[in-house]
Amino acid sequence: MILNAHIHAHQSYASPSSIKSAKDTEIEIILEATRRLKSAHQSRGSDYATFAEAVRFNRKLWTILSTDVAHSENALPADLRARIFYLGEFVQQYSRTVLTDDASVGPLLDVNLAILRGLGTRPSAP
């Protein structure tokens, strides 16, 4: 379970008919960040504020992921936790480059899609 606090909050306020597993919620949140990045990148030139917000949302997601895997109570294997933490550091650094140097969001999308594959989903079109 990667997004512990966020998932618990989401499940606590969800209606009983919409209860999802923690894994489903993780997938949903990562897909949302990926979709926002992809969509906002396409209109980056005409709506930079929306683009910057999509990058911020993705950075926030990765801050949560990094924080969660840094906790010793996290049940993931130490090696996997370290790799996820490293990806979080990459996302933070590269996001700054995307915002300041007009770099492509492709690597950020690739990281998110790799995590989704690791969670056992094959997103068709994020």
- pLDDT tens digit string along 65-87? 999 999 989 999 999 999 999 99
- Predicted TM-score (pTM) of the model is 0.80
User: Residue 74 domain-assigned?
Assistant: yes
User: Residue 124 domain-assigned?
Assistant: no
User: Residue 8 domain-assigned?
Assistant: no
Query: What is the structure's pLDDT at 14?
Result: 52
Query: What is the structure's pLDDT at 1?
Result: 47
Query: What is the structure's pLDDT at 5?
Result: 52
Closest by CA to 27, choosing from 106, 108, 112, is 112
User: Residue 80 domain-assigned?
Assistant: yes
95 contacts 105 by C-beta, under 8 angstroms: no
Domain that holds residue 73: 23-118
User: Residue 27 domain-assigned?
Assistant: yes
User: Residue 61 domain-assigned?
Assistant: yes
User: Residue 78 domain-assigned?
Assistant: yes
User: Residue 13 domain-assigned?
Assistant: no
Backbone angles phi, psi at 52, to 5 degrees: -60, -35
Number of domains, the chain: 1
